[in-house]
Structure 1
Amino acid sequence: MADGVGLLRSCRAAVRAALFNWRALRDAVSVLERLDVREGNVVADIGSGGGFFAFEVARLAGPTGRVFAVDVDEGLLGCLARQARRRGITNVSFLHSAPEGPTLPRESFDLLFMRNVFHHLADPVAFLRRIAPALKGAGRLAVVEWKPRRRSLWRHSTDEALIRFSAEMARFSLIESYAFLKDQSFSVFGRR
């Protein structure tokens, strides 16, 4: 019975991962270009979901780079770890996070990437303050988030002004904002 429950959870995680990855495909090339990941970079994909961006960023960072796929869902992380093994991807680590934010090594990351995560944060300012020390001096925080819509069934969105305000309160400053995503905001911040 316990094995059956584990298998069912694993299958559900795999289905969710596939759904997240299908959604990530739209505009992915444009997002990846603007993330400007380079050979040897160390990146945290916070809220890695189905792993699409974690695996693509790992490819861009190359064998000397490292990606940390970070998520609160252990089932998804297990699914991603199995995918990585099957695909021979060796430069991705998987890190389970508490909802209030992951504990990341100080001054270790060139980029912290959050896609469709902000609306889940109970205290965005505290979350950003918790992850900020993980950035290297010139490191960046990139946030892609659903824009609010009048008829949104799930209300999974955050106004871009709230994202910017939260980032400023956590001692980040806006570097760039992109408008090419139809239903999402895309902001890149640096530490002050």
Structure 2
Amino acid sequence: MVWKSLLIAYLFICGSSAQYWADFFNRDAASPENKPDEIISALSLKPGMGVADLGAGGGYFTLRFARAVGKEGKVYAVDIREDLLEIIRDAVSKSGLDNVVYVCAREDDSMLPEGSADLIFVRNVFHHLPDQEKYFRNIRPKLRPGGRIAIIEYKKGSYYAGHETPEETVIASMKKAGYALWKRYHFLEKQSFTIFIPAESR
């Protein structure tokens, strides 16, 4: 596990192209091991929904969400890297979709419009946030009534050191931020998959 941590640190330090990382993220998201079809099914997406892909990376889920919510819906591709958003923009254009909005965020602020999302999707991003409790407390106004936050995160010891969060830590942090656990899925071997709603919605 240590050598994997050193390898990824080396790649970050030396720098790699945005396209390299977009491809890397998309391969990971699309891998059968990570069960993307089951994830999409569990999210219960419907036409007309507003969905935020927080930490959109290479855009794999952004495109899948955009197809699922249809022309009446809207998907927000959110990332702190403008170069990755440009790659997603190009992929969306080539796919013929026109229901994606691109949001260049900050580490401590999603920059999403208020009342924009029925679902905020957070895959392998939670551990990157400097203050998870504050971040998700501040993101509450971005949700529409009945909105949900889905968090997928590598379990402790299942990925590169430092790129993981124990499931109970995710749940505890979200509770402190004002959310209640709504659903918990167990079909991902290496990742936890939890969905939260604002505590007052229970």
TM-score, reference length from structure 2: 0.86
Pairing of 1:106-125 with structure 2 (within 5 A): 106-125=114-133
Letter aligned with residue 92 of structure 2: A
Match of 2:179 among 166, 172, 177: 172
With 60-69 and 152-161 compared, the bigger mean Cα shift is at: 152-161
Letter aligned with residue 166 of structure 2: D
- Does residue 102 (structure 1) correspond to residue 140 (structure 2)? The answer is no
Q: Which residue of 2 aligns with 1:42?
A: 50
Q: Which residue of 1 aligns with 2:5?
A: none
Letter aligned with residue 127 of structure 2: H
- Does residue 24 (structure 1) correspond to residue 24 (structure 2)? The answer is no
In 2: Cα distance, 1:14 partner to 1:140 partner: 31
In 2: Cα distance, 1:22 partner to 1:130 partner: 31
In 1: Cα distance, 2:24 partner to 2:124 partner: 14
Q: Which residue of 2 aligns with 1:4?
A: none
In 1: Cα distance, 2:193 partner to 2:160 partner: 22
Pairing of 1:110-189 with structure 2 (within 5 A): 110-149=118-157, 152-189=159-196
Q: Which residue of 2 aligns with 1:3?
A: none
SS at match of 1:101: coil
RMSD, aligned CA: 1.4
- Does residue 14 (structure 1) correspond to residue 14 (structure 2)? The answer is no
Q: Which residue of 1 aligns with 2:6?
A: none
In 1: Cα distance, 2:183 partner to 2:24 partner: 29
In 2: Cα distance, 1:21 partner to 1:154 partner: 21
Letter aligned with residue 183 of structure 2: E
Letter aligned with residue 19 of structure 2: A
Q: In the alignment, is the contact (CA less than 8 A) between 1:137 and 1:191 conserved in 2?
A: no
In 2: Cα distance, 1:52 partner to 1:153 partner: 21
What is the CA-CA distance between 1:153 and the residue it aligns to?
3.8
What is the CA-CA distance between 1:102 and the residue it aligns to?
1.2
Q: In the alignment, is the contact (CA less than 8 A) between 2:103 and 2:111 conserved in 1?
A: no
Gaps of 5+ in 1: 1-8
What is the CA-CA distance between 1:154 and the residue it aligns to?
3.6
Q: Which residue of 1 aligns with 2:89?
A: 81
In 1: Cα distance, 2:171 partner to 2:43 partner: 18
Gaps of 5+ in 2: 1-14
What is the CA-CA distance between 1:108 and the residue it aligns to?
2.3
Q: In the alignment, is the contact (CA less than 8 A) between 1:111 and 1:142 conserved in 2?
A: yes
